[in-house]
Structure 1
Amino acid sequence: MIADAVLATTIKTCRFIQPHPMRILGVEMARPKPLHAEIYLNYFKAPVSWDAGHTVIHFDSIYLNAPSIHANQSLLAENDRQATAYFGLRQPRSITDELRAYLHKSSDCRQISLDSAARHLNMGGRSLQRELHAQGSTYCQLLEDVRKQKAQRMLADSTESVTQIALTLGFRDTGNFCRAFKRWFACSPNAWRRQVQGQRPSVETHRGSLR
């Protein structure tokens, strides 16, 4: 049995780390009781229960807290120093950053609501609102910022119509999108697209003749 082999390896590893007698309080086995169950009792020298939900070894906390005879204090100190330096540089992202990244990754803003975004972040809708407010932002503000950036990118890099872009960004119709775009950039989506595309270098082709 694989579980038996894993248990035996675990015990051998523990005995290597802590050669002095270990105290096992009990063992739970996630399988039926075998015919020769006394073998397990003799090996673990502890009560064994069968048909458990998981295979578990219960050690005495005194044994687990005892230092290993193979411990290297200087190596431990160096590992702690490097771990502290590494994780100190990795600052956790704020809820605002997490939400912004989620909105950017979504291919269709129509599918995103405050509640769905909160579920993605393992939060309730009200909790998400409070967190954003504490960080000086709101869901509507973040969604509008992402819509602005996506609108620019889609107009510049895709051939989709303004109507399709508007629907993808979650607007009810093209008119609402155009009014929002003019508020953001003081021009219409088509005018912005023509301006951006006109700034890109063009490749000229010259037609020649063979004589």
Structure 2
Amino acid sequence: MSERTTSASWASGIVKALELEGLDCRAMFKQLGLDFAALDDPDARFTQDSMTRLWQLAVELSGNQAIGLNMARVVRPASFHVVGYALMSSRTLAEGFERLVRYQRIIAESSDLSFRLEPDGYALVLTVHGDHLPPTRHSAEASLACALSLCSWLSGRVIQPRRVLIQGPQPRDLTPYKTAFHAPLVFSAPYDALVFERADMEALLPTANEAMAVLHDRFAGEYLARFSESRVTHRARQVLCRVLPQGEPKRETIAQALHLSQRTLQRRLQEEGTSFQTLLDDTRRELAEQYLAQASMTLLEAAYLLGFADPSNFFRAFRRWFDITPGEYRARLSGAAAAPVENESVSDARTQAYTAPAP
């Protein structure tokens, strides 16, 4: 079973959108083997593939190829779980979208969001991933329509994007898209995105409340932490951080610490979109950034704490991660010119003779 999941809050929004077509969602859930009652549990999750099958069945039953756009008519902050209330209390829409990017996984793990300032305005870029089933265009289009509708709901006025980018091919009937977006449409685009006027994103929201924003950030952060802790990736990373100073960690050691067989660990990591070697490499890279930010820690100490028995392997890995040497990286952090190559070469020379202490 796929591990990518969607919150019951977002699934409820999908159900409301489908019911606008007159579809019997309770019967559809039964047909797909899904628990309709779980929609009332804010902590319940549905797999991404089950939501893909729901969209496919909805199109089959309704004949409406643009059914995802119905989400614009039912969106409320509650559709975004606890994240919705954090958005409501944000100072501006730009600040709200930055929160949305930060907490996106609470709503749906299958989507990646980025929000960036471009020369012609702010772009909210969406990528929807599938699991065993490829994602439908309806899922992405529902998210775009929902995000735009939320802008108008929060600001209390109509927000019109500069343009809308849609990965799917241009449909025969453009009417639903024109009604939903009121903006120039670009189909067969490289990604799904909304591009907004800068002034619209930076205007103060009537619902802005700094104290409430801090509170909702805490709630969202705590939920995300609880959610992450249930993931094998998160638990394996914690074990890696603990055992790295003892030397190169073995998959068998991590599996035993998690009370899993090596095969089960490998399968669970794969379901969560990674592998043991990738997780080890990512963990080392993140820790390396933290260690090099500590001026009192030598490069040899950092290599040892990262589990490299031969620090020359650490230097090679660091070059692969950041395309510069650890010494150059540290010089940039301190604001100094990356000129002290002599110090770097001394460290390089030392690594040839240095061997990490035995655990």
TM-score (norm 2): 0.30
Structure number with higher relative contact order (C-alpha < 8 Å, ≥ 6 residues apart): 2
For the pair shown, which has the larger CA radius of gyration, 1 or 2?
1
